[in-house]
Amino acid sequence: GDSVIQMQGQVTLSENDFLFINCTYSTTGYPTLFWYVQYSGEGPQLLLQVTTANNKGSSRGFEATYDKGTTSFHLQKTSVQEIDSAVYYCAMREGTGYQNFYFGKGTSLTVIP
């Protein structure tokens, strides 16, 4: 069935380190892929989304490429800052209608100053 897999539950980095959060998805259709970020005490915020395969989305220094070949949508950032500490959720929506969103289990990022 449809699913989103994030293998990393927690990631701890120092400021200016390179960030890589793994995300793979499973579906038979043509999904739109998302990354949401949830800061402590807040609801999830949309970070970026990509609708078309092989395209890249970027926002606030974060980027992710929709790779249909490997069914992946990994999140990267060249140089993380303390303010990036949050939980990052990879998500998928198949199609353009009112289908459900599927979320990964989230990756908690802690950036040490």
Partner 1 sequence: GALVYQYPRRTICKSGTSMRMECQAVGFQATSVAWYRQSPQKTFELIALSTVNSAIKYEQNFTQEKFPISHPNLSFSSMTVLNAYLEDRGLYLCGARDHTRQNTLYFGAGTRLSVL
Contacts 24+ apart (CB under 8 A), 41-50: 44/89, 47/75, 47/88
Closest approach, Cβ 93 to partner 1, in A, equals: 7
Does position 43 bind partner 1 by CB under 8 A? yes
Instruction: Tell me, by CB under 8 A, how many residues bind partner 1.
Output: 23
Closest approach, Cβ 78 to partner 1, in A, equals: 26
Phi, psi for 89 (deg, rounded to 5): -115, 130
CA dihedral 101, 105, 106, 107 (to 10 degrees): -150
Interface with partner 1 by CB under 8 A: which residues?
32, 34, 36, 41-46, 49, 51, 89, 91, 93, 96-98, 100-101, 103-106
